[in-house]
Every structure is written in C-alpha cells, then in structure tokens.
Chains A and B, each alone.
Chain A
Amino acid sequence: EAGVAQSPRYKIIEKRQSVAFWCNPISGHATLYWYQQILGQGPKLLIQFQNNGVVDDSQLPKDRFSAERLKGVDSTLKIQPAKLEDSAVYLCASRTSGRAVEQFFGPGTRLTVL
C-alpha cells in the first residue's frame, strides 16, 4: 500500500512570496489533515477535510492560508503572503473512516521563509 505522498519536500522562499504544497493521501482515505510542525514542537492541526468538505479549520490563519481538496482526493495548501513565522514542516495525514483509526502521515514539506 502506497503511503501519503507530499511535494515538494523542501522549499525556500522570501517573506511576502507565495507557496503551495501538494498532498496525495492513501487511496480510499476519506479524511485528510494538514498539520504545521514548528521546530521543537508537536504538530498542530491547520485544517481537516472529510471527502472534499471542511470539517475543522479553526486554527487556519485564513488571512494568508488557504486549502482545498478537489474531488475528495488530492489536496493543496497555499500560503500567500508568507511570513518568517511560517517556517515549519507542513505535514499531510489521512485516514479511513471508523473509530480509533490510525492517521497516516506523509514525510512533510520543510518550508524556510527568509
């Protein structure tokens, strides 16, 4: 079974520039998450999708971050414009439906904002 795929793996941009990350979840996984992991901290949820609908985006900085999940499969997370404090690893995770079901994480995209 293929895992969660993310690209790019690394990205360096200047502040105020835009950046986009892509995630392909495990086939058949209806729920998709984007987490932000700042160095030395645990992952923090940004947004949760169920199929192509948003379940929870309460911690997404909506003035600069946006995310979409077209056709309930792939997802993109965009930052526009980026700030220095956005430097982090952006993790995508997915899981199938059901109780106490494991979330599978991708390798993440490491973003550095200069």
Chain B
Amino acid sequence: QQQVKQSPQSLIVQKGGISIINCAYENTAFDYFPWYQQFPGKGPALLIAIRPDVSEKKEGRFTISFNKSAKQFSLHIMDSQPGDSATYFCAASDNFGNEKLTFGTGTRLTIIP
C-alpha cells in the first residue's frame, strides 16, 4: 500500500515537444506529492510539488495534474529542452510532507534536437 508506481521507465521526446510522466499511488493517506529531478552524479532536487486540494499546479514549463479519485498524478514538461534530459522521480508523503518520501522507480527522459 506504500508503493508509488511510475511510468514510463524511459522517454525520448523531441525538442519543443511535451514530456508526460505518470504516477499512481494506493495509500489514501498521502497528502503531499513532489516531483524530483536528478542529474547524473547529483542528488535529487525538488522540481514542483502539489497538495491534493488542487487538481493542477503550474510553474513555468512544468505542470502537475492531480486526479484524487483515480489516485494518479502526472508531470507535464512543455516545450521540452535538451537541458531537461535527466531522471525524474515522483514521490508521495503523508502528514503534509513531515513523513518519509516514498519514491517511484524513476523515468529517464532524453530530449533530442
């Protein structure tokens, strides 16, 4: 019940296109859903996060869509750039992020010219 399932495992998108990564969770106690970006040799860094009281959050080219009834959330990267090439992890936590993060398995995103 603590799992967060992430797909796809890898994704190749043309420059300027839209990258979409999906996650699903089972634990209805989760109430904080961040996305992390990780470059090789670096630790994960927070990209954007959402609480379940809203269905969408947008920051620049990055948007989280959240469907509470389906227990799914997704990351959309608009106008994808080569610099966006990285591994992306969805995560979930309860107690408003005061508890541990449960991570998805990651998506390796490659943006090609």
Q: Do A and B bind each other?
A: yes
Chain A interface residues (CB < 8 Å from chain B): 4, 33, 40-45, 48, 56, 91, 93, 99-108
Report the minimum CB–CB distance from A111 to chain B (whole Å). 14
CA distance A42 to B34 in the complex (A): 13
- Tell me whether B103 and A42 are in contact (CB under 8 A): yes
Q: How many A-B pairs fall under 8 Å by CB?
A: 53
Which residues of B86-113 have CB atoms within 8 Å of chain A's CB atoms?
A: 89, 91, 96-106
Residues of B14-30 contacting chain A, CB below 8 A: none
* Known A-B contacts A93-B43, A105-B45; A44 and B103 likewise in contact (beta carbons under 8 Å): yes
- Give min CB distance, A103 to chain B, whole Å: 6
List, in ascending order, chain B residues with CB within 8 A of A42's CB.
4, 6, 89, 91, 103-106
Chain B residue numbers with a CB within 8 Å of A44 are 103
Q: Is the CB of A41 within 8 A of B105?
A: yes
